[in-house]
Amino acid sequence: MQKVVFQDLGLTGFKEAWHYQEKILSKITSVKRDNNGMQPDPLHYLIFCEHPHVYTLGKSGDPANLLIEDSQMDANEANFFKINRGGDITYHGPGQLVGYPILDLDFFFHDIHKYLRYLEDAIILMLKDFNISAGKIDKLTGVWIDPDDNEKARKICAFGVRCSRWVTMHGFALNVNTDLNYFRNIIPCGIEDKAVTSMQNELGVELNIDEVKTSLKQHLSEIFQFELLNVSK
């Protein structure tokens, strides 16, 4: 069973968290380069955090999916970054649980699609713990409420990842107590005909985000069959 270092960074600037991920990724891939593509003592991380208001655009995303001008960013107390993950545009902000798994898939499986499906499965199981029924939509990465109803389907968790030498970074954004008004400034993930929701919106009450984290860590550990080690940054 692989051991994964867990770190909760709390409310952290997106740029700081991005650079922190890059630092870890660079360390792992450098070790692999020096050891014929393998880590003798494998390192894996799972990072949880929240971000101040920010919009991020994936490397293949369409800038037209950001619906406000630069001059309006200050009014929304938001920042904007073009980044090196897959996927289109999304929003991060307080009340949203962002997860950054940095896993060396050489020690799990060589299948990025399977990796995404496992992440989705963990989110779905966690939501079930809170009496929220969720599922998947074929050919649309993410976790959805009412996935079988094209008109009612709404996304509760978005995904966007990068993989280098089979080491992952970036990850998922789960709307827990998220201010959904910020999604009005974008076409989320470039999908025009689907709404966005949150756990709070579905249940009508504010969630204890620490309880959400505890449940999600358990399901991630079970699905990926790893052991979490709690370590401060």
Q: Is 189 one of the annotated active-site residues of the chain?
A: yes
- The contacts found for 75-78 with CB under 8 angstroms, 24 or more apart, are 76/182, 76/185, 77/52, 77/53, 78/53, 78/54, 78/182, 78/185
Instruction: Give me the DSSP letters along 63-78.
Output: GGGB-S-HHHHTTTT-
CA distance 127 to 118: 14
Q: Which residue has the tokens 């910020």?
A: 182
CA dihedral over 116, 88, 173, 106, signed as positive or negative: positive
Q: Which residue has the tokens 């969720």?
A: 134
Query: Which residues pair with residue 45 across a beta bridge?
Result: 5, 102
Q: Show which residues are catalytic.
A: 189
